């Protein structure tokens, strides 16, 4: 029942589906389109999820800006994305809002604070509000904004809160579906889009200076390794990351550049403990903010990582990537780059990709899941060598 909703948990899916039926039956919010002849003067955009989600939406945001060059576009993101959003010249202002279902740790406020903030948007008299997430709760926030036109997805409920619902393709990349939502707003047919060859994010000159200082004594090629998967369900063996990096430097020379946040220290230390011999290593764990990290990634010859926010950041600045995928589907979440600059390494087993990241199956909790166990070092090294050869 309610199989149109992209919610894995059956009980949650049923609850959201029943709520949708009640909203539709009671006509709590009109779903009638309120298109007007004049283009919107003020636009509110919600992209509340993690780093990668925002980065994968940048092409669609660029399309929105190109369509409405005179409009004021205000972007609302989680506080973790504020520095990144501040780099964007395609929006006029950035606001932060930490949704409890997306924030890790203990976000300030709660649902009542979300409602208060959403109602405060009424004072700005937005003509159009877009929600790229598609969750029933964030669709409600869009409705509370008071915007007469409200566009989004109904994939996780709340379609009754919208006046314009985008067509979501489960077999398409996040960037493609984001573009489809903009196409819906513009009332134009959706077209097949592909990533371009040019970077979509430009680090600041100050960030580049920081990167130059951090990598001053490194010799090329620079082999970046981001070993932390962010979540246990996406964690490849740190010893395998180390082995892959060691083999590449042994064959080609160069330097291993380790990245990660302060919270990743234990994983990075494990990687370092397995890099033996005289392999040059630069450990940048906890040493960069998001902007400096983007500039560091821009300098790398190659970046080896799992399905992580830094993977999408590397793609945004144009760095060649070897991406190790397990439970998440690269068709939906892979690096938004041309195939000549990104290689996905994964294995096919009966249950993968399940895309059950926030609530992984019980059989995969407490150990590395089988879909990552099957990814061997040889496959990662071969993919890396292929990219390095193509770049040279």
Residue 177 lies in a domain: yes
- Show the domain range for 335: 205-391
User: Would 198 be classed as within a structural domain?
Assistant: no
Q: Which residues contact 125 (CB under 8 A, 6 or more apart)?
A: 42, 146
Residues 161 and 213 in one domain: no
Residue found by looking up tokens 């996406």 in the block: 234
- Domain assignment present for residue 37? The answer is yes
What is the mean pLDDT of the segment spanning 302-323?
97
Is 199 a member of any domain? no
Please, what is the end-to-end C-alpha distance for the chain in angstroms?
Answer: 53
Same structural domain, 212 and 178: no
Q: What is the CA radius of gyration of the chain?
A: 22
Q: What is the DSSP letter of 127?
A: S
Question: Do 179 and 120 fall within a single domain?
Answer: yes
**65-85 pLDDT tens trace:** 999 999 999 999 999 999 999
* Total count of domains within the chain: 2
Q: Which of 185, 220, 235 is the last residue of a domain?
A: 185
Same structural domain, 105 and 225: no
**pLDDT at residue number 198:** 84
Q: Do 218 and 117 belong together in one domain?
A: no
Do 39 and 157 have their domain in common? yes
Q: Same domain for 109 and 231?
A: no
386 inside domain: yes
Q: 170 and 128, same structural domain?
A: yes
Residue 338 lies in a domain: yes
Q: What are the structure tokens assigned to 127, written together?
A: 């003509």
Q: Which of 132, 150, 185 is the C-terminal boundary of a domain?
A: 185
Residue 362 falls inside a structural domain = yes
- Identify the domain boundary among 156, 185, 214: 185
Report if residue 158 sits inside a domain. Answer: yes
Q: How many residues does the chain have?
A: 392
Q: Which residue has the higher pLDDT, 18 or 260?
A: 260
* Residues 165 and 257 both lie in one domain: no
Whether 257 shows a pLDDT value over 90: the answer reads yes
pLDDT digits (tens, 9 = 90+) for 207-252: 999 999 999 999 999 999 999 999 999 999 999 999 999 999 999 9
CB 135 within 8 A of CB 156: yes
Whether residue 126 is found in the same domain as residue 215: no
Both structure tokens of 297: 């990634």
Banded model confidence at residue 30, pLDDT cuts 50, 70, 90 = very low
105-148 pLDDT, tens digit per residue, is 655 668 898 999 999 999 999 999 999 998 999 999 999 999 99
Query: What separation in angstroms does the CA of 173 have from each of 180, 212, 244, 327?
Result: 11, 34, 28, 16
Is the C-alpha dihedral spanning 192, 194, 199, 201 positive or negative? positive
Instruction: Judge if 175 and 228 occupy the same domain.
Output: no
Q: What CATH number does residue 113 fall under?
A: 3.40.50.2000
**214 and 266 assigned to the same domain:** yes
Distance CA 362, CA 351 (A): 13
Residue 242 to residue 245: CA distance in whole angstroms: 5
């Amino acid at each position: 029942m309610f199989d149109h909703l992209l919610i894995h948990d059956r009980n949650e899916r049923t609850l959201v589906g029943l709520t949708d039926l009640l909203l539709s039956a009671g006509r709590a919010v009109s779903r009638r389109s309120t298109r007007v002849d004049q283009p919107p003067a003020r636009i509110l955009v919600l992209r509340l999820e993690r780093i990668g989600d925002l980065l994968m939406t940048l092409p669609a945001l660029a399309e929105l800006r190109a369509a409405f060059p005179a409009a004021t576009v205000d972007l609302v993101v989680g506080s973790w994305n504020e520095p990144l959003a501040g780099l964007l010249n395609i929006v006029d202002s950035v606001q932060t809002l930490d949704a409890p279902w997306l924030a890790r740790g203990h976000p300030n406020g709660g649902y009542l604070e979300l409602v208060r903030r959403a109602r405060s948007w009424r004072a700005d008299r937005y003509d159009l509000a877009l929600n790229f997430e598609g969750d029933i709760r964030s669709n409600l926030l869009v409705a509370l904004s008071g915007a007469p036109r409200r566009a989004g997805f109904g994939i996780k409920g709340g379609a009754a809160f919208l006046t314009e619902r985008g067509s979501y393709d489960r077999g398409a990349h996040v960037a493609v579906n984001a573009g489809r939502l903009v196409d819906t707003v513009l009332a134009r047919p959706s077209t097949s889009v592909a990533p371009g060859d040019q970077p979509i994010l430009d680090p600041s000159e100050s960030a580049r200076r920081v990167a130059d200082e951090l990598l001053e004594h490194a010799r090329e090629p620079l082999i970046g390794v981001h070993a932390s998967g962010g979540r246990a369900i996406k964690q490849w063996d740190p010893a395998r990351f180390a082995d892959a990096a060691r083999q590449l430097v042994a064959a080609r020379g160069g330097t291993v550049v380790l990245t990660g946040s302060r919270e990743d220290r234990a994983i990075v230390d494990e990687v370092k403990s397995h890099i033996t011999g005289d392999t040059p290593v630069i450990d940048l764990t906890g040493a960069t903010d998001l902007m400096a990290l983007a500039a560091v990634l821009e300098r790398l010859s190659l970046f080896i990582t799992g399905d992580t926010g830094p993977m999408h950041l590397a793609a945004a600045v144009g760095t060649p990537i070897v991406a190790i995928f397990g439970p998440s589907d690269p068709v939906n979440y892979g690096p938004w780059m041309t195939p000549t600059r990104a290689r996905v390494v994964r294995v096919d087993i009966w249950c993968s990709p399940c895309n059950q990241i926030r609530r992984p199956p019980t059989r995969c909790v407490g150990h590395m899941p089988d879909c990552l166990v099957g990814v061997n070092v040889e496959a990662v090294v071969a993919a890396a060598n292929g990219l390095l050869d193509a770049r040279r």
